[in-house]
Amino acid sequence: MLGILELVENLEIRSRGHSRESGKRGNSSLLMENQMNTNPFTIERTYDAPVEKVWKAITDKDQIKQWSFDIKEFNPEVGFEFRFYGGTEEKQYLHLCKVLEVVKFKKLKYTWRYDGYEGNSIVTFDLFAEGKKTRVRLTHEGLESFPKSNPDFAEKNFQEGWLSIIGTTLKEFVETNR
């Protein structure tokens, strides 16, 4: 039986989309895996770039399109609505988003949904200045609200996409674009 601290650690690791390396599996672990689909996806990375630079990369439309989606208009203001296309080679989806919260150099939070489809989700970027580096935590909540009948909306696709964006393209952009 897992201890309470180990149980909490397992839950935190699994909700972030990582597997436990020790390979321990018990009833508690299986229960957490079954509940994972209602947990938000979270990824954290630390970049060798100051928080001001990372903030500009996630809030300036000209910079966003260099490491992420081609967003025509964006303002980091509560209530600002923006849209962009993204998806697979076979099908592009119109993403409809609305900024919910802005704390300069610390937090950007917005809705994320698809035109013509059920489901609403929320994306949050939390930034933490750590000297000359920045820790970025991205959380995507509500993935389970998207239609299960559409394989493009599978949670694993969101996880893979965010791992690529936060783990590679944004990191490379802020660390090499000096």
pLDDT reading at 97 higher than 70: yes
Q: What's the angle, vertex CA 55, arms to CA 83 and CA 93, rounded to 5? A: 20
**DSSP character at residue 29:** H
Q: Where in the chain is the domain with CATH 3.30.530.20?
A: 40-176
Q: How confident is the model at residue 38 (pLDDT cuts 50, 70, 90)?
A: low
The pTM score is 0.78
Mean pLDDT of 82-89: 93
147 phi and psi angles, rounded to 5 deg: -60, 125
Least confident range from 4-18, 38-52, 70-84: namely: 4-18
121 close to 143: Cβ distance less than 8 angstroms: yes
Average the pLDDT over 57-78 and give the result. 96
In this structure, are residues 99 and 78 in contact, taking their beta carbons and an 8 Å threshold? yes
Is residue 29 scored above 90 in pLDDT?
A: no
Mean pLDDT of 158-173: 96
Q: How many CB atoms lie within 10 A of CB 98?
A: 15
C-beta of residue 111 within 8 angstroms of C-beta of residue 121 = yes
Level-2 CATH architecture, domain 40-176 = 2-Layer Sandwich (3.30)
Q: How far is CA 98 from the centre of its chain?
A: 15
